[in-house]
């Protein structure tokens, strides 16, 4: 059944462990997916159902959690090796990928932090 699906198991177990803290790591999960896969779409397909289940488990708006997933996945492209290698090849830039990641990671992190803060204000701020 659906309860035995890997996304359900991961979503339920991790969200029960992190509780409301899941919101803080949600965008980072999306970024991690893009880092490994090289694609926002693949990250969203891989982790979207986990985020949905986590949101339902901790009682947070599902659309808000999926938005954090998408934002994180988009930001994660800035540290994705596939994209960095492709960009270096196309532009003829000869520099180590680690040096590029070191420069782009701070912007990716800032983007994730800002998006998370905005979402926290949206979810828990006074109307």
CB distance 28 to 14 below 8 Å: no
* CB count in 10 Å sphere of residue 125: 8
pLDDT tens per residue across span 43-85: 999 999 999 999 999 999 999 999 999 999 999 999 999 999 9
pLDDT of residue 5: 83
CB distance 54 to 11 below 8 Å: yes
Higher-confidence position of 83 and 126 = 83
The reported pTM is 0.88
Nearest to 3 by CA among 68, 49, 69, 42: 49
């Amino acid at each position: 059944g659906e309860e035995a699906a890997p996304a359900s198991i991961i979503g339920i177990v991790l969200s029960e462990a992190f509780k409301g803290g899941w919101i803080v790591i949600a965008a980072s999960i999306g970024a991690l997916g893009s880092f490994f896969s090289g694609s926002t779409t693949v990250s969203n397909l891989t982790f979207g159902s986990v985020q949905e289940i986590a949101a339902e488990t901790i009682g947070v708006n599902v659309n808000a959690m999926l938005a954090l997933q998408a934002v994180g996945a988009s930001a994660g492209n800035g540290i994705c090796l596939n994209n960095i290698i492709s960009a270096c090849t196309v532009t003829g830039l000869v520099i180590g990928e680690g040096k590029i990641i070191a420069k782009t990671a701070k912007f990716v992190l800032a983007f994730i932090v800002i998006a998370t803060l905005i979402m926290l204000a949206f979810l828990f701020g006074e109307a």
